[in-house]
Amino acid sequence: MREVPDGHTDALQGSSAGDLERHPIDTGAVSGREVVGVSSQRRLKVTIRRDPEDRTAWLVNVVGTPGAHTFGRSLAEAKRHGVEVVALWFELEPDEFVIDWDIRLADLAGSVKQARAAMARAEVDRQRRDNAVRALMEAGISYRDIAELLGLSHQRVAQIAKAS
């Protein structure tokens, strides 16, 4: 530690103590986060599971860090609290870390996977429908005829056409 003019010591030690004197703050130096391709974000895994005793609560645990846990009354609240726990526990700003969420649903996981897969298929089907509407429009077919061909309302065809 170095002694400063008022008689106290500062916390700078080793070679870094002189770095502030040699490299003032406004030198234009670029931090590691600003260098293209360099990521200083820390990755942490956080598990969330429903409380077996209180089905309205979600329990949050930072993997490999005993004592770093919290809860939330909703999944969204549990995630917000998880971010806060990581930030406080590791003394990081939220932009300095990335959380890999592991949401454990036990017997409900299968239903969630099926629903997500169905939603993905529905999105692909929506894109195919929209492409068909555009192709029929380019062929000069009216909104009402496109609607009749595809089983849509003419208003929906107009919405799709407007979004194109």
Indicate whether 17 belongs to any domain: no
Domain span holding position 96:
32-104
User: Are 82 and 95 found together in one domain?
Assistant: yes
| Domain's final residue, options 104, 126, 151 | 104
State in Å, rounded, how far the first CA of the chain is from the last one: 66
Residue 118, SS3 per DSSP: helix
Task: Give which of 55, 45, 52, 54 is closest to 103, Cα–Cα.
Answer: 45
pTM: 0.59
With respect to residue 12, please indicate whether it lies within any of the assigned structural domains. Answer: no
Per-residue pLDDT of the chain (164 residues; tens, 9 = 90+): 334 444 443 333 333 333 333 333 343 444 444 445 555 789 999 999 999 999 999 999 999 999 999 999 999 999 999 999 999 999 999 999 999 999 999 889 999 999 999 999 999 999 999 999 999 999 999 999 999 999 999 999 999 999 97
For residue 67, the domain's CATH number is 3.30.2390.10
- Contact residues for 142 (Cβ-Cβ < 8 A; gap 6+): none
Same domain, 158 and 94: no
In whole angstroms, give the CA distance from residue 122 to residue 95: 34
